[in-house]
A and B are shown apart, each in its own frame.
Chain A
Amino acid sequence: MIAPAPEKLTLAYYPGCSQTGTAAEYDTSARACCAALGVTLVDVPDWTCCGSTPAHTVDHVLAGALAARNLLQAELTGHDRVTTPCPSCLAALRTASLHLAEVAQPDKESPGVSEGGNETFRTRVERLLDRPAPLRATAVSLLQVLTEDVGIAAIAAAVKTPLTGLRVAPYYGCIMNRPPGLMAFDDPENPTALDRLLTACGATVVDFPFKTECCGAAFGMPRLDMMQRLSARILGMAEDCGADVIVVACPLCQMNLDLRRGQVNAFSQHQGGKNYAQPVPYFTQLLGLALGLPESYLGLDKLVLPLGPALAAAAKRAAEAEKAQAAKAPPKGREADKPACKEDAPCA
């Protein structure tokens, strides 16, 4: 009997606006990793903004309609699962799905605001869309697709150039896993998906307590001081944990920690703190390196703080560790199994 061929993983792909601009390298590296791991991404045709933070702070119905439109567009690809690298887009898409599923519920968010105040949320969204919105499509984060659909074991098997010696702080951001009822992915307080993925890539994952702390998000515009304080804490904790790099999964986190590093460092030094220099790559960039993809696919040159020095330091450290082990390791016995270098132990 012939075993059925493994089903090829194909999903609709919603890049999100950031990934066409400030986070273009997130988009290209995500596409490259998926291609290398056998995941086919079909772009959502004629996609538009998900509504992001501005829409739902102003009007929930408008926010729902913007997100629902993209889910309906995604259904045109013939695939009912749509993946996006951006956690904020993900939250918008999943919120719309959730609210539209509550068909019988009267709109509690803004009852009576518009004409026909007792209409359901669905009715009002559908009026804005000028068409019925019986959503089949559901959104799922790219990180979840890679860790759950592809699987850690498959990723580990595909790694060609492991990131040996690179000490990474996995930084998930506030909304990758939260609120738990909406995102339904990993532990909301102590997520481990990124940890496991990076370990599979051969990196040394430090025990980073600020995995889900806020970086200040969009407050970089109205309240720069708040963003500076919050991002400085994250950078400080990563440094104290001995991380070479902070790995992110969110374009806004990346912008605050990387592009705005000058602003954060200015604040930090004003407070008597340090000048932080860790680079902040996307997890897809490190995954791509581990998969042996060419740097041109990964957009490493788009990072403000270059990744090169950290990679060089890691390679040096790995080489030293190997040398030290070779020098003192007895040919056999339990000694060889122990970590050669104490620095390899996670920061407690």
Chain B
Amino acid sequence: MRIGVMVCHCGNNIAATVDCEAVAAAAREFPDVVFATDHMYACSDPGQKTIEQTIRDLKLDGVVVASCSPRMHEVTFRRAVERAGLNRYMFEMANIREHVAWISLDRKRNTEKATDLVRMAVEKLRYDRPLTAKSFEVQKRVLIVGAGVAGIQAALDCAEGGLDVLLVERKQAIGGVMSKLDKTFPTVDCSVCVLGPKMVDVGQHPRITLHTLSEVEELSGYVGNFEVKIRKKSPFVDWNKCTGCGACLEKCPSRKVPDSFNERISMTTAITIPFPQAIPKRAAIDPTVCRQFTKGKCGVCQKVCPADAIDYTMQDEVVTEKVGAVIVATGIDLFDHTKYGEYGGGRYPDVITSLQYERMLSASGPTAGHIKRPSDGQEPKTVVFISCVGSRDRSVDRPYCSNFCCMYTAKQAILTRDHIPDSRAYVFYMDIRATGKGYEEFVRRAQEEYEVQYIRGRVAQIYPKAGPTNGPGGGQLVVRGADTLMGTQVEIAADLVVLAVGAESSKGAPALAEKLRISYDAYGFFLESHPKLRPVETNTVGVFLAGACQAPKDIPASVAQASAAAGKVLALLSKDKLESDPQIAQVQTIRCIGCGKCERTCPFGAIRMRELRDGSKRAEVVETVCQGCGICSVTCPVRAIQLAHFTDSQLLAEVNALCRTWDETTGS
């Protein structure tokens, strides 16, 4: 075998702490190596040309490049060796940047370690065999998980691009957080008026199949051929018959159910349609509060329903669908402000969250757009906003900025002054982060035109003002905090306090990530493949991210990322066939004893048992399903399964290259 080695300097990234020339010189002594050199940038055009030319000139059988992580440039170099006429799998990469140069400044020992890694790659390459990819058909359908504004946008873009879309939403109606908002910044236009047409389009688009009250139960398969199990929770109403007339809502006798759409500031019925513009406009029963389910008798809705749609015996349904790609758009939940004991920890009714306030401002909300204190229904004259509640605070394990709270607080302060002209609005803030288009101007308008009082400092405590609760100033809350610009303490007697609660990852996000085999960070936000250059891809091919499930985002950013994800999916599924990775498990039938351990251990269901004519069984790998993880290979008691490109002989050759005897180490 004739092997060529190239050691990359990566500018100074590697060369600063590794003697690349010495590594190349050492490599020339390795078995089968006929050529070794170093290069400033192996991935550059001249670098690749050198590799190709050397393969041709010296009739090489394989190439080792010692440079960065295979995640960066493996594909680049595989293409280069392929252009020179070699099989793309006759190539190995030694990572001497992330694994050596970037983690230690000891040049001598770095050089030794880099040399060892190159030796291992050479030994592995000596056992490499050419592999050929197979192509397979793809499903031209996409699954979108979550139907907030990001999921809606991605669904519409994909459907317009000619793909069939499965849109799955956990709640009863689509629209997400945006459908709860009254107005949006910085334009102060009506949120549901902007979102409404898109929701209607989703409901009517012939290519979009909507599953609400549904959750992804399981995802199997691989890019192009995923199989998804969707659990459709029973609404106990036949949605094919229900017309959304609302007769059941009027007659339902359970009227004391906290309304989750209205952030629990008002009560609703056990059978509900969450809001007037709901898509789909269908009723659903909450069995945890419905008298028919909790007490075993009622049946009022069944009696009044003119369409005979109520069915108390309806069961959950699990549907299985095939899709080619997945977009995750599960959005956010809000921080639980009761963790802040100093803000009352949920004990004071007139300390509310920003989203509760938003429902109060909304014309379709529980107060029909009138701002009322929850305690006594009075119109507040002094409203205090506190920003960064559950953001930028390590004491509650939320060190990150939630991105949009500064802006919605400015919007809510403006709306307060609009709704109640003789009111005063105060905002306690740490910093004002208004980096979007037109955002800074919007905050200035709040401060200058609407005379919102911005106080830079944190609030130490909120407590009920002393005195009789029904006298002048009675029932007020004292907001005590620091004004760090003035260097003083301030106390404001407030009628209502609005906490700008930060964003958290959606409840159940880590569990969903496990099902989809994608990564998530310490706070449950899904990890993109590369923070700068692959912001909508995940490390699982065929699964993409859109919206705030990746990090807190405002509406424009969520919509932009949703369209980006849709573009990625359209490009991926524009091909009729995709190539499969040939680095998969292979069964040597002659060695297999048919014990079936591999079948039980495979996490992807890629191994099945095949019966021979004599009745005995042998394992068989389903090539398109195998992910090449190698678990079967280490499980097999007779070493009958080998992972192509990572065979036992290759791994042992690497180990032997690393663990040489004393003679070998001193001799070379």
Contacts and interface: CB of A to CB of B under 8 A. Distances in A.
A135 to B, nearest CB: 27
Contacts of A237: 463, 466
Interface stretch (B295-303, B337-345, B572-580): B337-345
B471 to A, nearest CB: 12
B464 interface: yes
Given A180-B395, A207-B347, A209-B461, A188 B341 contact: yes
B341 A236 contact: no
A188, A190, A207, A210 — which one has the most chain B CB atoms within 10 A of its CB? Answer: A190
Nearest to B475: A348
Nearest to A210: B463
Interface in A97-134: none
Contact of A190 (B341, B395, B464, B466): B341
B467 interface: yes
A187 interface: yes
A189 to B, nearest CB: 3
A7 interface: no
B466 A189 contact: no
A237 B461 CA distance: 14
A187 B463 CA distance: 17
Interface in B447-470: 461, 463-464, 466-467, 469
B466 A236 contact: yes
B464 A209 contact: yes
Interface in B346-369: 347
Contacts of A190: 341-342, 345, 347
Interface in A227-248: 236-237, 240
A49 B464 CA distance: 40
B389 to A, nearest CB: 13
A189 B340 contact: yes
B459 to A, nearest CB: 12
Nearest to A209: B463
The main secondary structure of chain A at its interface with chain B is loop
Contacts of B466: 236-237, 240
Contact of B341 (A187, A210, A240, A348): A187
A237 B463 CA distance: 10
Contacts of B347: 190, 207
Contacts of A207: 347
Interface string A204-217: 00010110010000
Given A180-B395, A207-B347, A348 B342 contact: no
Given A180-B395, A190-B345, A209-B461, A240 B340 contact: no
B605 to A, nearest CB: 47
Interface residues of A, number: 13
Nearest to A190: B341
Nearest to A187: B341
Nearest to A191: B341
Nearest to A189: B341
Nearest to B375: A348
A180, A187, A209 — which one has the most chain B CB atoms within 10 A of its CB? Answer: A209
A240 B342 contact: no
A188 B466 CA distance: 23
Interface in B312-359: 340-342, 345, 347
Nearest to A179: B395
Interface string B372-403: 00000000000000000000000100000000
A348 B340 CA distance: 18
A230 to B, nearest CB: 12
A324 B328 CA distance: 64
Nearest to A239: B466
A220 B340 CA distance: 31
A294 to B, nearest CB: 38
B467 A189 contact: no
Contacts of B463: 209-210, 237
B345 to A, nearest CB: 5
A240 B345 contact: no
Contact of A189 (B342, B464, B469): B342
B594 to A, nearest CB: 51
Contacts of A189: 340-342, 345
A237 B347 CA distance: 17
A240 B395 CA distance: 32
Contacts of B461: 209, 213
Interface in A65-93: none
A343 B240 CA distance: 56
B373 to A, nearest CB: 14
A1 to B, nearest CB: 42
B393 to A, nearest CB: 12
Contacts of A210: 463
Interface string A161-189: 00000000000000000001000000111
Contacts of A209: 461, 463-464
B353 to A, nearest CB: 18
A142 to B, nearest CB: 22
Contacts of A180: 395
A261 B346 CA distance: 34
A180 B393 CA distance: 14
A348 B345 contact: no
A189 B461 CA distance: 9
Interface string B464-506: 1011010000000000000000000000000000000000000
A209 B347 CA distance: 11
A236 B469 CA distance: 16
B665 to A, nearest CB: 34
A347 to B, nearest CB: 8
A209 B342 CA distance: 9
A237 B465 CA distance: 9
A180 B394 CA distance: 13
Contact of A348 (B395, B464, B467): B464
Contacts of B345: 187, 189-190
Contacts of B464: 209, 348
B388 to A, nearest CB: 16
A190 to B, nearest CB: 3
25 contacts: A180-B395, A187-B341, A187-B345, A188-B341, A189-B340, A189-B341, A189-B342, A189-B345, A190-B341, A190-B342, A190-B345, A190-B347, A207-B347, A209-B461, A209-B463, A209-B464, A210-B463, A213-B461, A236-B466, A237-B463, A237-B466, A240-B466, A240-B467, A348-B464, A348-B469
Given A180-B395, A236-B466, A240-B467, 19 more contacts: A187-B345, A188-B341, A189-B341, A189-B342, A189-B345, A190-B341, A190-B342, A190-B345, A190-B347, A207-B347, A209-B461, A209-B463, A210-B463, A213-B461, A237-B463, A237-B466, A240-B466, A348-B464, A348-B469
Q: List the 6 shortest-distance A-B pairs measured between CB atoms, nearest first.
A: A189-B341, A190-B341, A209-B463, A240-B466, A189-B342, A187-B341
